[in-house]
């Protein structure tokens, strides 16, 4: 899980959350704001990773083709 800065500048937001889930969270003393923030941070990180893979797909494919044809560079020097 990602760490979230406790001193970060926060912005109010209106969210619609399942009523049963909210009751459970409050009953368990879950900090709903921090939990939502953590979930949003995870979603942002996942989307950034997905976009990075899309943007770099051609390079990764080219590298995989190279390794397939020529093997891993400096493989003879590997100690493991």
pLDDT of residue 75: 81
pLDDT level of residue 2 (50, 70, 90 thresholds): low
| The total number of structural domains that make up the chain | 1
Any domain includes 63? yes
Any domain includes 29? yes
pLDDT value at 1 more than 80: no
Contacts of 42 (CB under 8 A, 6+ apart): 1, 2
Question: Using an 8 Å Cβ cutoff, are 38 and 28 in contact?
Answer: no
Percent of the chain scoring above 70 in pLDDT: 95
CA end-to-end distance (rounded Å), the chain: 32
Taking residues 63-72, report their average pLDDT.
94
pTM confidence score: 0.71
Any domain includes 13? no
Any domain includes 37? yes
**What CA–CA distance (Å, rounded) separates 80 from 76?**
10
Any domain includes 55? yes
Any domain includes 2? no
Any domain includes 27? yes
Which structural domain range is residue 49 located in?
19-70
How many other C-beta atoms are found inside a 10 Å radius of the C-beta of residue 58?
9
């Amino acid at each position: 899980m990602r760490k979230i800065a406790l001193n970060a500048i926060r912005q109010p937001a209106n969210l619609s959350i399942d009523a049963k889930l909210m009751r459970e969270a409050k009953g368990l003393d879950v900090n709903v704001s921090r939990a939502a923030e953590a979930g949003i941070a995870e979603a942002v990180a996942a989307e950034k990773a997905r976009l990075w893979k899309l943007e770099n797909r051609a390079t990764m494919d080219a590298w995989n083709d190279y390794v397939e044809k020529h093997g891993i560079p400096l493989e003879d020097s590997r100690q493991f």
